[in-house]
Amino acid sequence: MLSKTLQDGLNDYGIGAKIRGLRLKKKIGLVDLGKHTGLSPALLSKIERGRLFPTLPTLLRIALVFGVGLEFFFAGVRDQPLVAVTRKNARVDLPERPGAREAAYRFASLDYAATERRFNCYSAEFFPVAPEKLRPHEHAGVEFIYVIEGVLTVHINGAEHALEPGDAMYFDSTSPHAYRRSGGRKCTAIVVTAA
């Protein structure tokens, strides 16, 4: 249990209100935010209402979804131009479903260190999955995919689009979509999303 002094000090940051503001700006419901973070909607609701203060790892999971850094929740307005470097060995992995044995893809955030991002950029690796086991998802905004190696099949609006190295695809990500590797070779791509 937090002392009144600690609770008042944390309340001053308005972390819950900032999370709610980000969520409403992106037009994401609590259930969808829960799917993206692996946190329950009930827990997220308590955090937004200021009834519970998130741990730093929990807050970072939320921050990654919205493309902000932890400092967004604690600092005032930035007074320096934004420059952020993400080193290859410091990327944040975002599996399709944390802890699942079978996944269609794994994303690694390339720009998590940049605060106030206008888009999100990922290095993605895709795995072979039977078409009937694909789990389509959707999110606000648009998505851009550039295939680096292998053959990537993107399922969207009931159609399949096979992309080879050098191919690119741009689409409205509010349409349910899913990805899978086609063929036996490793499949990687750069994926950019924007709301």
Outline which parts of the chain fall under CATH 2.60.120.10. 88-194
Assign domain 88-194 one CATH number from 2.60.120.10, 2.170.120.12, 3.10.180.10, 3.30.413.10.
2.60.120.10
For the residues 10-30, what does the mean pLDDT come to?
88
Q: Is the pLDDT of residue 97 over 80?
A: no
CA-based Rg of the chain, rounded to a whole angstrom?
18
Banded pLDDT at 183 (limits 50, 70, 90): confident
Taking residues 96-113, what's their average pLDDT?
79
- Assigned token pair, 95: 């599996």
Identify the weakest region by mean pLDDT among 7-16, 95-104, 107-116, 150-159: 95-104
Lowest mean pLDDT among 5-14, 30-39, 78-87: 78-87
DSSP 44-62: HHHHHTTSSPPPHHHHHHH
Edge to edge, the sheet with strand 151-156 lists: 159-163, 151-156, 177-182
- State the span(s) of the chain assigned CATH 1.10.260.40: 4-74
Percent of the chain scored above 70 by pLDDT? 94
d(CA 170, CA 143): 6
Cα–Cα distances (Å) from 63 to 17, 142, 158, in that order, read: 13, 19, 32
Fold held by 4-74: 434 Repressor (Amino-terminal Domain) (1.10.260)
pLDDT at 132: 80
Of 2-11, 54-63, 143-152, 160-169, minimum mean pLDDT range? 2-11
Residue 100 has pLDDT above 90, yes or no: no
Q: According to the model, what pLDDT value does residue 134 have?
A: 83
φ, ψ dihedrals at 13, nearest 5°: -80, -20
Higher pLDDT: 80 or 141? It is: 141
Mean pLDDT in the chain?
87
Range 96-109 average pLDDT: 79
Q: Residue 174 pLDDT more than 90? A: yes
Q: Is the pLDDT of residue 79 over 80?
A: no
pLDDT of residue 80 exceeding 70: no
pLDDT at 76 over 90: no
Local structure of 77: helix, strand or coil: coil
